[in-house]
Structure 1
Amino acid sequence: MDYIEVKLTVSEDFTDIFMAELGEIGYETFTEEDYGLNAYITNDLFSEESLKEVLARYAEMTSVEYSFQTLVKQNWNEEWEKNYQPISVDGIVQVRAGFHQPDPSFKYDIVINPKMSFGTGHHETTSMVLSLQQEINHTNKKVLDVGCGTGILAIMASKLGASQVGAFDIEEWAAENSRENVSLNDCSNIEVRQGTIEDEPADQYDIVLANINRNILIRDIPKYIEFMKPAPSQLVVSGFYQHDIEDIESVAKKCGLAKVNVREKNNWAAIVFERIQ
């Protein structure tokens, strides 16, 4: 599926506001630029009318201009390579492209070459989950990565010592990209599948990772429980805003999960839940 890139020329004071507003109408990821903000949404969900409605709410508060273009699969790598820089997570993990040199000062080195998958570690939700993973014992654990994108979280789980990692994504190109990245990182214990949680073969995991979005999490957390071992298996979720924490926690609590850790960054949030029954 192709993505739409929307460029917003707007004051830095309003970038967080527009990220929150656009996230509510389906935009998946954002990059902050000198001129303002880039926002990305799948072609099927893009509506210029909806975009205009959001911008109109702030017309009297700030000046904002926009333009948009379609990013087709073929040119994504080219566009990404022009702007991509390695990132550091807690000074422990480096996420880089294949054309960057490894840095031995980092304990963990992850190589990610995306197609159209947004999961390079730059977005707050991904970096927060990578950070939380450092605090969870993965040694000899079975891990499931739900909606794996580039496969970055599954790769992190493997490097942290997981014995077996399952990963899946609904998009064919995302599953294909994950397999390529798994190979780049020599993670032979990761199996990537295309499909949804409904298509997953029955199994039990010590850790389930789900960096998706608020609505899917609220719908599917009860389903994730079926794939979690008895207490104290853990569920790590992200892809939602701070103001959604209460709703996510409410669903998790009804499923027998207790909140044990939280990360918050630039209005985004990530939570670790533990099964208590």
Structure 2
Amino acid sequence: MTNISKKKWISVSASINNDKAIKFLYTNFSQQILGTHETDDNIVFYFNYNQKNIIKNKNLTDCSIKELKYENWHQGFIEYFKPLEINDQFTIIPEWHKPKKYSEKYIIIKPGMAFGTGTHETTQLILNELQYYISSNDNVLDLGSGSGILAIGAIKCGAKNVDCYEYDVDCETNFYENMKLNSISNFSFSIKNVLSITNFSYDCIVANINETVLIDLLPIIKKNRNNNSTVILSGIIKSYKNKMISLIESLNFNLVKCVKKGEWICLVIN
């Protein structure tokens, strides 16, 4: 397992009015973006360190690139990660924020990485849909669990149990930390490639994974489920919308809903 304390990342900051650079990053690096957040003046994108020279060589106008180590990654989030209301159902609360009164709508998160704090549009899109598609006593499958934020949301919507799968071993410690912070116990967690899973017979499946993996995953879900479960997909850049819908139709899934936030979309199918 990688020693996460020795890992490095980069942040790329673009002016909120720098439409050209923002569109370029979303379009060309959608699969590499770990997370984003907005300030009053900028949009900040986070990437693994191995993207530094690739992005630097693109000579993006009016963008700044900074290196981040594990110890100052968290410090950056203390500055920028504030309570975030998703909808009437959920508000994301950083672990260091002490609300005067606890609410069941709070999802308490310790940031282990940008992706999974609720700041990324794809996470927000799925969180917003959970209330409509999860019922009491549902069994839920969470693919690409990351910080565990969607599993926590599913339990708070009434799910009986959530089985969680994540490929990145660096997420494991943070996942368990967040489950403990939210007093969640009815879950399982495995480090596993989602493309190797063979049981998809759940009441609801959530997958916040980049679109290239989803393209390979959907035929596997279709082949290996024996019910009409609802599947909520995100991690899809909007330029992939038509390609994804064509695949969904070719596999005889029913497209229930398509919602958009920023440069990203969420598809609900059954």
**Pair in the same fold by TM > 0.5:** yes
Query: 1:30, 1:123 within 8 Å by CA — same for their partners in 2?
Result: yes
Q: 2:111 aligns with which of 111, 114, 117?
A: 114
Cα distance in 1 for residues equivalent to 2:46 and 2:183: 30
User: Which residues in structure 2 correspond to 1:93-132 (within 5 Å)?
Assistant: 93-102=90-99, 108-132=105-129
Query: 1:148, 1:175 within 8 Å by CA — same for their partners in 2?
Result: no
Q: 1:90 aligns with which of 87, 90, 101?
A: 87
Could you say which residue in structure 1 is the equivalent of 2:231? 235
Could you say which residue in structure 1 is the equivalent of 2:193? 196
**Cα offset, 1:99, TM superposition:** 1.8
RMSD over aligned Cα atoms = 2.5
Could you say which residue in structure 1 is the equivalent of 2:220? 223
Could you say which residue in structure 2 is the equivalent of 1:38? 44
Aligned length: 264
Q: Which structure would you say has the larger RCO, counting Cα contacts within 8 Å and 6 or more residues apart?
A: 2
1:170 maps onto 2:167 in alignment: yes
1:148 maps onto 2:145 in alignment: yes
Q: 2:155 aligns with which of 133, 152, 158?
A: 158
* Structure 2: runs of 5 or more not aligned: 1-6
1:119–1:49 CA distance, 2 compared to 1 (3 A) = closer
Could you say which residue in structure 1 is the equivalent of 2:266? 270
Query: 1:117, 1:149 within 8 Å by CA — same for their partners in 2?
Result: no
Query: TM-score by structure 2 length?
Result: 0.87
Q: 2:10 aligns with which of 4, 23, 26?
A: 4
SS at match of 2:207: strand
Could you say which residue in structure 1 is the equivalent of 2:211? 214
The amino acid that maps onto 1:247 is K
1:103–1:157 CA distance, 2 compared to 1 (3 A) = farther
User: Which residues in structure 2 correspond to 1:58-97 (within 5 Å)?
Assistant: 64-97=61-94
Could you say which residue in structure 2 is the equivalent of 1:61? none
**Cα offset, 1:230, TM superposition:** 1.3
Identity of aligned residues (%): 26
Query: 2:123, 2:208 within 8 Å by CA — same for their partners in 1?
Result: yes
* Structure 1: runs of 5 or more not aligned: 56-63
Query: 2:9, 2:69 within 8 Å by CA — same for their partners in 1?
Result: yes
Q: 1:20 aligns with which of 21, 26, 37?
A: 26
SS at match of 1:3: strand
Moved more, 165-174 or 27-36: 27-36
Cα distance in 1 for residues equivalent to 2:42 and 2:162: 38
Could you say which residue in structure 2 is the equivalent of 1:60? none
Query: 2:145, 2:165 within 8 Å by CA — same for their partners in 1?
Result: yes
Query: 1:202, 1:227 within 8 Å by CA — same for their partners in 2?
Result: yes
The amino acid that maps onto 1:266 is G
The amino acid that maps onto 1:252 is I
1:29 maps onto 2:25 in alignment: no
Q: 2:131 aligns with which of 123, 130, 134?
A: 134
**Cα offset, 1:234, TM superposition:** 1.0
Query: TM-score by structure 1 length?
Result: 0.85
The amino acid that maps onto 1:264 is K
Moved over 6 A (4+): none
